[in-house]
Amino acid sequence: FFFSTGIMGISRDSFHKRRRTGARVAPIRMKRKYELGRPAAHTKLAGPKRVHMIRTMGGNRKFRALRLETGNFSWASEGVTQKVRVLDVVYNASNNELVRTKTLVKNCIVSIDAAPFKQWYENHYAVAIGKKKGRAVSEAEEAVLNKHRSKHAQKKVDKRKAGSKVDHSIDEQMSAGRILACISSRPGQCGRADGYILEGKELEFYQRKLRARR
The closest of 134, 140, 89 to 118, measured between CA atoms, is 140
Q: Which of 133-142, 149-158, 171-180 has the highest mean pLDDT?
A: 171-180
The closest of 62, 83, 65 to 74, measured between CA atoms, is 83
**134 pLDDT tier (thresholds 50, 70, 90):** low
**What is the percentage of the chain residues whose pLDDT exceeds 90?**
70
Q: Which range among 45-59, 113-127, 199-213 shows the weakest confidence by mean pLDDT?
A: 113-127
120, 169, 81, 130: CA torsion to nearest 10? 20
- Mean of the pLDDT values across residues 54-83? 96
Could you count the other beta carbons within 10 Å of the beta carbon of residue 75? Answer: 20
Residues 92-122 have pLDDT tens digits of 999 999 999 999 999 999 999 999 999 998 8
Distances (CA, A) of 184 to 95, 103, 131: 17, 14, 29
| pLDDT at residue 6 tops 60 | no
Please give the biggest Cα pair distance in the chain: 80
Residues 33-53 have pLDDT tens digits of 999 999 999 999 998 999 999
Question: Which residue has better confidence, 157 or 25?
Answer: 25
Q: Is 36 helix (H, G, I), strand (E, B) or coil?
A: strand
